[in-house]
């Protein structure tokens, strides 16, 4: 364990203290918006509450023009103050390059980590099948949002924009509250 690592841990502990880092996440909404219906359609896009403690979200998209080997994703995070305002992150990356990379960018990998174990998209390009994110549970989101990288309390939205060959094909938006 190196010096730099200790500093990172120290900063996180301090941030945890000062910012009252959240310990609970609630998914409030999920929206999947096709921007090119000749290219992609959503069969479902939903949050399901089985009971008080067991909730999850799932997405099933039909890819109508595979195989696809050029995908760009923009991820922008918002926090609600008086309406949702851009906050923290806004980045765009080449998904095919990212998936093929052995040394994955830490930030992209953090966001990818929310779905990588629960999706059939976790392979290298091309994609020529339906895209499925299956049952990402609240318990897993809690772990990812609070244990892996603590985030302060508040209402958040994560807007993702999906491009193929430089053209916008779909928007997927996740809304969550950390309390
Ligand atoms: C909630 O549902 C899950 C899955 O069906 C089950 O394993 C769990 O025991 C349930 N919890 C409660 C509190 O009912
Ligand atoms: C994110 O950055 C892009 C490129 O700089 C910009 O066009 C877009 O408006 C930004 N989005 C947000 C939510 O800030
Ligand atoms: C890919 O996702 C599947 C579930 O869809 C999971 O079983 C597997 O471990 C994941 N593989 C990687 C490399 O993340
Ligand atoms: C993806 O397609 C766009 C638009 O055709 C192009 O500008 C870009 O260079 C392509 N990316 C790769 C990695 O080939």
Q: Is the CB of residue 155 less than 8 Å from the CB of residue 177?
A: yes
Residue 89 in domain = yes
Atom of ligand 4 nearest to the CA of 96: 13
Measured by CA distance, the residue closest to atom 8 of ligand 3 is: 117
| Bridge partners, residue 91, by sequence | 75
Let me know if 171 is exposed, middle or buried by CB neighbors in 10 A (0-12, 13-18, 19+): middle
Q: Is the CB of residue 27 less than 8 Å from the CB of residue 167?
A: no
Residue 148 in domain = yes
Residue 59 in domain = yes
Sign of CA dihedral 42, 33, 71, 103: negative
Predicted pLDDT at 4 = 58
Residue 172 in domain = yes
Residue 84 in domain = yes
Residue 90 to residues 1, 13, 75, 145, 173, Cα–Cα distance (Å): 31, 25, 6, 17, 14
Which domain, by its residues, includes 134?
24-178
Q: Is the CB of residue 110 less than 8 Å from the CB of residue 149?
A: yes
Q: Is the CB of residue 169 less than 8 Å from the CB of residue 163?
A: yes
Predicted pLDDT at 66 = 84
Per-residue pLDDT of the chain (179 residues; tens, 9 = 90+): 455 555 555 555 555 444 455 568 889 999 999 999 999 999 999 999 998 888 999 999 999 998 999 999 999 999 999 999 999 899 999 999 999 999 999 999 999 999 999 999 999 999 999 999 999 998 888 888 777 777 788 999 999 999 999 999 999 999 999 88
Predicted pLDDT at 1 = 44
String of DSSP letters for 43-92: EEEEEEESSSS-EEEEEEEEESS--B--EEEEEEEEEESSSEEEEEEEEE
Domains held by the chain: number: 1
- Gap from CA of 16 to ligand 3 centroid (Å): 31
Q: Which residues line ligand 2 (CB under 6 A)?
A: 76, 86, 90
What is the number of residues in the chain? Answer: 179
CATH number, domain at 45? 2.70.220.10
- Gap from CA of 151 to ligand 2 centroid (Å): 21
Residue 139 in domain = yes
- Gap from CA of 177 to ligand 4 centroid (Å): 36
Residue 14 in domain = no
Q: What is the DSSP letter of 127?
A: B
Measured by CA distance, the residue closest to atom 7 of ligand 3 is: 117
Alpha helices in the chain, H assignment, sequence order:
3-19, 95-100, 106-112, 138-142
Give the strand pairing for 131-137 and 167-178. unpaired
Residue 109 in domain = yes
């Amino acid at each position: 364990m190196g010096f730099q690592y200790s500093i990172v841990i120290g900063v996180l502990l301090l941030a945890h203290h000062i910012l009252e880092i959240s310990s609970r996440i609630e998914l409030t909404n999920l929206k999947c918006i096709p921007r090119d219906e000749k290219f992609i359609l959503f069969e479902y896009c939903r949050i399901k509450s089985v009971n008080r403690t067991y909730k999850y979200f799932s997405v099933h998209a039909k890819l109508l023009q595979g195989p696809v080997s050029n995908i760009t994703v923009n991820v922008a995070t918002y926090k609600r103050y008086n309406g949702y305002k851009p906050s923290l992150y806004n980045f765009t990356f080449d998904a095919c390059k990212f998936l093929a990379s052995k040394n994955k960018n830490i930030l992209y990998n953090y966001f990818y980590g929310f779905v990588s174990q629960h999706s059939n998209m976790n392979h290298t390009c091309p994609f020529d099948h339906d895209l499925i994110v299956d049952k990402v549970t609240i318990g897993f989101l809690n772990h990812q949002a609070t244990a892996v990288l603590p985030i302060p309390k508040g209402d958040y939205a994560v807007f993702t924009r999906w491009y193929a060959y430089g053209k916008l094909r779909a928007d997927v938006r996740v809304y969550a509250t950390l309390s």
